[in-house]
Structures are given as structure tokens and as C-alpha cells.
Amino acid sequence: MAKRTHTLTLTNGKTIKVHEKIRFRPYMAVFYVLLVIFAAIVIVPIWWMVANSFETIRSYAFPNPPNFWPKNFTWNNYKLVMMNTSIMANLKNSAAVTGLDVVLNLFIASIAGFVFSKGRFPGKKVLLLMIMSSMMVPFEIKLMPIFNIIQAMGLNNTYLGASLPGSLTAAFNIFMIKKFCDDLPDALLESAVVDGASKFRTFLQIYLPLMGPIIATLTVTTVMASWNDLLWPMIVLSKTEMRTVQVGLSSLTNSTFGPHSGMTCAASCLSILPLAVIFVFMQKYIVQSVAATGIKQ
Amino acid sequence: MHKTVKPQKFFQKYGEWYVMLAIPVLGTIIFNIWPLILTMIGSFQNTAGSFIGLVNYQILFSDPLWPKAVGNTLYMGVLGVGFSIPIAFLMAYMLNRVPLLKNVFKTIYLFPMIVSIVAVAMVFKFIFNADANSPMNLLLQKIGLAPLGWFSSTSTSRETVIIMTLWKNVGHSAILFFAGLQTMPTELLEAADIDGANEWHKLWNITVPNMKNTLIFVFITNTIGALKRFSDVYAIASEYGEPGDSLMTIMVYIYRKSFSTLFYKDLGVASAASFVLFLVIIVITMVEMKVTGETEALIGVSRKRRDA
């Protein structure tokens, strides 16, 4: 009989281990079979892609029937794709845009979230409603005007131009941080102000360090959304040398006379690699972030 | 108290709050309110910038491509949402009812979220190739069915895109449902156990009503996402919407009319189409607020989202 171990902490600080006997019921067998089938459906395509990125392929077609283990292992696809396409430059651009997005977005959102939670000033509700209005207007329907504005600022084909429209209207992140701040005590602000500290310094030195969990959560979701964005980077970073990895990969896989199939697999694997590394090391955290925010990428 | 506050005092007291909000407020004006107004104005203007009333809307509604784009968007939306919610709910329900390996399954189901739609499309174009020997067609032939055209046939391209998008997104909805299930009080189910209720009754009469808010939340976000469908069809058919306009959606239509280098551009019509899409999404958002009471949450009378 299987056992599940729980570690409990008692009020006196001691920890004890409790072994719970798990009673298997017939329905669980059915559930496990179905869960494994779902898992297989998820894993097989990714597995196939990784396997073929290491396979020696000399044609535009993939080996068929599909192989799930490289028969002639090679690093050549990676070497070729790095030498012959701009995938490495694309990756660098994506990293720059994502990094800038996270920093700008979360810095602005944490200040605004703090002000809306702890500040008491006339017009607070109106300003909050105004900022939250961004949540109701989809980015997609403002594409052309936003592009014109960015162009008028001279920011098209710059990382800043790619990042600003999103990170200055991050209503959702502001909302999440405000909600988190609502649970932090007001007394910290009051005593700091009495001591003569400015509100901004109080935010920076007292409240910001307490916001760790929510900032980490929103960093995860912002990185994923930013890295995988296709439409806006495609429009604003139109120069070939400014393309992000999604745009570069899209032009690679959509072109009729593209590179051979091993190379497209290798390029796809490279585009996933940075997020995959983060995912593997922070898997538990990512699951929690998704559950907590419900954000759609 | 009774005297009006002097400007100096006012700024001394509140000024710092306003300064700290300057960037997001300006950002919202420049990148939300102003572009929205521009889209609205643009829908009443011609390319030269003079007002032409509702002509753009007339052109839009008489363009034979527009009803196709709307039809495809709605068809794929209904199909996508219709399949993703029951499947995701089933996955979450099963995850919640098994004792071991929950985290392993959750991690696996969430993994497609990090794979970009472009890479997914590359893989699915191979698996669902129209060739009679492609993996999916071989599978069909093995169970005695005729091979299909998948992405390359007008009668199956939309469904195949939905299969691809389900593969990528269903785990995400499942994790949201799972989080909702975990906040559900276990006493209810235990009481039902004692009363001898079967699994089916427990699911319909206890779990589903308790999950109402999560269900509505996932339903609405999926619906709005479906109305804005762009990346997945673009990754398969780029801006051509082929085969035979079957992958032409509202957003691909707007993109083509605004940014295309291959097709006839018309910014006025693109603005009109954007504005129509905006009105539809706003109505859906309003309905969501009415049903779930999120209005309070939005205007900041902090009311926590019960689940999700």
C-alpha cells in the first residue's frame, strides 16, 4: 500500500512526519490512464521536434514514418542554423525586449499599485478607473494608431518602442500589485511619514521589499507573454536586424525556399530553450503564477 | 476644515502621490485613450484625412471578405471554446481526484504554454501534413478512415488550427480550473459521499455550481481571445488566410488592411473593422462584469476574485 508523507510543524516549533495511507479506488486507475494519455499528447510533438533537431537530415522533408530518436546524431543543424540565419541576433533582440519589458512594466506597476493601495488623495478612483480602462481596450484594435505614435516619437525599430506601449499600460499588473498591497499594513507608511521619509522612499525601502512574491509571480507571466508575442514586434521591429525570435522563426518556417527541415527544428528548439530552462528550474513557481493570475499569453 | 485648501498646501500634502502616478497616467493617455480615439476618428475618414461619414463602414460591410472573416472567427471561436472548457475541466477534475503525481502532470500540461505558436505550427504542419503518408494520415488509415487534407483543405483547415491551439492552451485552462477546485470546501463532497451520491451527481450538483465563477472567467477570457484570433492562423497561413480564405479571421483582415505589403491597404476600413471588434469585446466584458460582479474589483473597491 502506498503512503504519502506530510511534514507538519507544531506550535512548539517541532516538526513531525505523518504518513497517510492512500486507498486506491477503481476510478483512479481510469483517471491515471486518461491523464497519462493527455500527457503523452503533450510530450510527443515536442519530443519529436527535439529528436529531429539532432538528426542528420539532408532533404526538406522530415523522415517518415517519424523517428523519435536521432539515428545519426549530429550538431550540424544547430551549427548551420546559427551560421546561415540570423537566429542568434533574433534571440538577442528578444532577450533585450523581454528584459526591458519586465523592468519597465514591473517598476511602473509596483509604484502605481502601491499608490492606489496606500495613497489617500482626491481623484484616486477616477485615475484608477482611467488606468484600468486599458484592460477593456484590446491592444489589437489600436495597432495602427499606436504604430503611428511610436513612429512619430522616432521609436520604431528600437527596443524601447517595442516595449513602451505595453509596459506603460500594464493595468493588469497594477491591479494585481494593488490587491497584494491591500494586505500589507498601512501603519508602515504612517510611521515612515511621521519620521520625515518621503512617500517614494517609503515605497522603495519598506514596501517594495515586501512585494517579493507578487513581483516574482508577475515577472514569470510577463516574461512568457513578452517572449512569445508575435503581432506587435512584427509591426514595430520591421528591420531584419531588429527582428525578435518569433518573427525570425516565422519568416524562416513560412518561406517557400527556407532552410532544410533539420534546421527549422533546431531553430525552433533554440527559440524555446531560454523559457524551457526557466520552466525546468521554476516549474512549481510557474504553475502557481498561472493559477494566481489566470493571465493569457 | 472649513477653509478651502491653499494650492501650496494641497501640493505639499498630495503632490507626491500625483508625481508617482505621472508615468502610468501619461502612458494610458498616449497608448490607450488617444489611440482609441484615433481609431474611432479614422473609421470616419478617408486616406486623405477628410470626413466621409459612414462610407468606411459601408465598404466594410459590402466587402465579401468581411463576412468570411467574421464567420471564420465565430466558427473557430465556438469550436475552440466549446472543446477547450470541457476537456480542461475534465483534466482538472481528474487531477483533483488522484492522490499522487499531481505536480508532475500539472507541469507537463503547462509546458506547451512556453512553446511559441510559431514553433508549434512548424511541428503541427508536419504531423497534419496533407500527404497520405503523414503521421496523422497514417493513423487514420490504420483505423480504416480516408486520409484528410488537414491544413491544406478548406473543409478541415479551421478544425486543424483548433486542434493545434487546443494542444497549446488547454493545459492552461486546466490549471485554472484545478486552482478553483482546490478552494472548494471538501465537506460538501464528504457529505454527498455519506448520502451515497454517485460521481456524476457530485460533479453536476456540487462541483460545477461551486466552480461557477472560475468557469465564467475562463469562458469569457477564452471568448475574447477567440475574437482576437491572430497568431495561430498567421503562423499557419500568414496573411493570405489560405486555403480559400478559410483561415481569414477578423484580426488577419485588420492586419492586412493596415500593414500588408502584398494586398490593397485601406486604413479607414481597417479602423472601422477595429471599432466594430472593440464594440463586440466591450459588450462581452460588460456582460462578464454583470455576471461575476467584477465591476467593484475594477474600480478598486477591493473584492478578491473568489477563485481563478
Is B17 inside a domain boundary? no
Q: Which residues of B touch A4 (CB under 8 A)?
A: 99-100
Chain B nearest CA to A10, separation (Å):
23
Q: Which residue of A has its CA nearest to B110?
A: A287
Spatial separation of the C-alpha atoms in residues A112 and B256, rounded to whole Å: 36
Tell whether A50 lies on the interface with B, counting CB pairs under 8 A. Answer: no
Domain that holds residue B116: 63-298
- Candidates A42, A121, A235; nearest CB to B111: A42
What CATH number does the domain containing B161 carry? 1.10.3720.10
Q: Do residues B234 and A247 lie in contact, with contact meaning Cβ atoms separated by under 8 Å?
A: no
Residues in A touching B285 (Cβ below 8 Å): 136
Query: Which range of residues forms the domain containing residue A170?
Result: 87-293
In Å, what is the CA distance from A103 to each residue of A153, A168, A222, A256, B68? Answer: 21, 11, 10, 38, 41
pLDDT of residue B126: 83
Q: What backbone torsions phi and psi does residue A223 show, to the nearest 5 degrees?
A: -60, -45
Interface contact flag, B24 A108, Cβ < 8 Å:
yes
Write out pLDDT tens, residues A90-145: 999 999 999 999 999 999 999 999 999 988 889 899 999 899 888 888 888 898 99
B98 → closest Cβ in A31, A171, A249: A31
pLDDT, tens digit, 9 for 90 and up, residues A269-296:
999 999 999 888 887 778 777 777 664 4
CA distances from B130 to A58, B134, B138 (A): 21, 7, 11
Look at residue B237 and tell me if it is in a domain.
yes
How many Cβ contacts (< 8 angstroms) between chains A and B?
289
Among residues B195, B223, B188, B187, the alpha carbon closest in space to that of B209 is found at B188
Given this model, what pLDDT does residue A20 score?
A: 67
- DSSP letter assigned to residue B51: B
* Partner-chain contact A137 B36, CB within 8 Å: yes
Name the residue among B23, B32, B112 with its Cβ closest to that of A133: B32
Computed on alpha carbons and rounded to an integer, the radius of gyration of chain B in Å comes to 25
List the 138-177 stretch of A: residues with Cβ below 8 A of B. Answer: 138, 140-149, 164-165, 167-171, 174-175
Phi-psi region of A15 (alpha: psi -120 to 50; beta: other; left: phi over 0): beta
| Pairing relationship of beta strands A15-21 and A3-9 according to DSSP bridges | antiparallel
Number of domains, chain A: 1
Cα distance from B32 to chain A (closest Cα, Å)?
Answer: 6
Grid cell 533554440 is found at A270
Provide, as residue numbers in chain A, all residues whose Cβ is less than 8 Å from the Cβ of B183: none
* B110 contacts on A by Cβ (under 8 Å): 286-287, 290
Can you tell me the distance from the alpha carbon of B121 to that of B127, in angstroms, rounded to the nearest whole number?
10
Q: How confident is the model at residue A3 (pLDDT cuts 50, 70, 90)?
A: low
Does the residue B68 lie in any domain?
Answer: yes
Q: Do B7 and A189 meet the contact criterion of CB atoms below 8 Å apart?
A: no
- State the pLDDT at residue B302: 29
| Any domain includes A239 | yes
Q: Which residue of A has its CA nearest to B296?
A: A129
Place of cell 503518408: B133
In a domain, B164, yes or no: yes
Minimal CA separation from B124 to chain A, in Å: 8
Quick one: which of A259, A277, A237 has its CA closest to A89? A237
Inter-chain CB proximity B39 and A141 less than 8 Å: yes
Give a yes or no: residue A32 inside a domain.
no
The beta-carbon neighbor of B95 closest among A35, A41, A148 is: A35
pLDDT of the residue at A149: 94
B27 domain-assigned: no
What are the chain B neighbours of A130 within 8 Å (beta carbons)?
25, 28, 33
Mean pLDDT score across all residues of chain A: 85
Mind giving me the DSSP string for B166-192?
A: HHHHHHHHHHHHHHHHHTS-HHHHHHH
Q: Is B144 left (phi over 0), alpha (psi -120 to 50) or beta?
A: left
Q: Helix/strand/coil (H, E, C) string of chain A?
A: CCEEEEEEECCCCCEEEEEEECCCCHHHHHHHHHHHHHHHHHHHHHHHHHHHHCECCCCCCCCCCCCCCCCCECCHHHHHHHHHCCHHHHHHHHHHHHHHHHHHHHHHHHHHHHHHHHCCCCCHHHHHHHHHHHHHCCHHHHHHHHHHHHHHCCCCCCHHHHHHHHHCCCHHHHHHHHHHHHCCCCHHHHHHHHCCCCHHHHHHHHHHHHCHHHHHHHHHHHHHHHHHCCHHHHHHCCCHHHCCHHHHHHHHHHCCCCCCHHHHHHHHHHHHHHHHHHHHHCHHHHHHHHHHHCCCC
What is the CATH classification number for the domain harbouring A110?
Answer: 1.10.3720.10
For chain B, residues with pLDDT lower than 50 are 1, 295-308
Residue partners of A133: CB distance under 8 A and separation at least 6? A171, B28, B32, B33
Closest CA–CA distance from residue B282 to any residue of chain A (Å): 7
CA–CA separation, A130 and B215 (whole Å): 28
A8 at the B interface (CB within 8 A)? no
Among candidates A38, A161, A162, A181, which has minimal Cα distance to A109? A181
Q: What residues contact residue B286 under an 8 Å CB cut-off, 6+ apart?
A: none
Query: Other C-beta atoms within 10 Å of A278: how many?
Result: 18
* Measured distance CA(B43)–CA(B249) in Å, rounded: 19
Task: For residue B113, give the DSSP letter.
Answer: G
Q: Which pLDDT score, from 0 to 100, does residue A66 have?
A: 74
Could you tell me which of A185, A239, A217, A225 has the C-alpha nearest to residue A287?
A217
In A238-267, the residues whose Cβ lies within 8 Å of chain B are: 245-246, 249-250, 253-254, 261, 264-265
SS3 state at B291: helix
Q: Which residues contact A135 (CB under 8 A, 6 or more apart)?
A: A171, A172, A175, B298
Average pLDDT over chain B, rounded to whole?
Answer: 84
What interface predicted TM-score (ipTM) does this complex get?
Answer: 0.82
For A39, phi then psi, to 5°, come to -60, -40
CB contact (8 A) between residue A132 and residue B299: yes
Structural contact between residues A87 and A259, judged by C-beta atoms closer than 8 angstroms = no
Is residue A269 in some structural domain? Answer: yes
Instruction: Indicate the pTM of the whole model.
Output: 0.84
Residue B204 inside a domain? The answer is: yes
CB contact under 8 Å between B123 and A49, yes or no, is yes
Question: Hey, are the CB atoms on A168 and B23 less than 8 Å from each other?
Answer: yes
B11 falls within a domain: no
Give the burial string for B182-195 (b: 16+ CB within 10 Å, else e).
eebeeeeeeebeee
Using CA atoms, how far residue B37 sits from A131, B8, B217, in Å, is 16, 35, 28
Whether residue A41 lies inside any domain: the answer is: no
- pLDDT value at residue A4: 67
Query: Crossing angle of helices A261-281/A283-293, nearest 10°?
Result: 80
Q: Which of A130, A170, A198 sits opposite B16 (nearest CB)?
A: A198
Rounded to an integer, what is the distance from CA B61 to the centroid of its chain? 24
Would you say B247 and B94 are in contact if contact means Cβ atoms under 8 Å apart? no
E strands along B50-151, which residues?
Answer: none
Contacts of A127 in chain B (CB under 8 A): 21, 25
Does residue B45 sit in helix, strand or coil? Answer: strand
Q: Do A133 and B16 touch (CB under 8 A)?
A: no
Q: How many domains does chain B have?
A: 1
Q: Is residue B174 part of a domain?
A: yes
**Cβ–Cβ < 8 Å for B284, B273:** no
pLDDT at residue A202 is higher than 70:
yes
Question: What is the nearest CA distance from A13 to chain B, expressed in angstroms?
Answer: 27
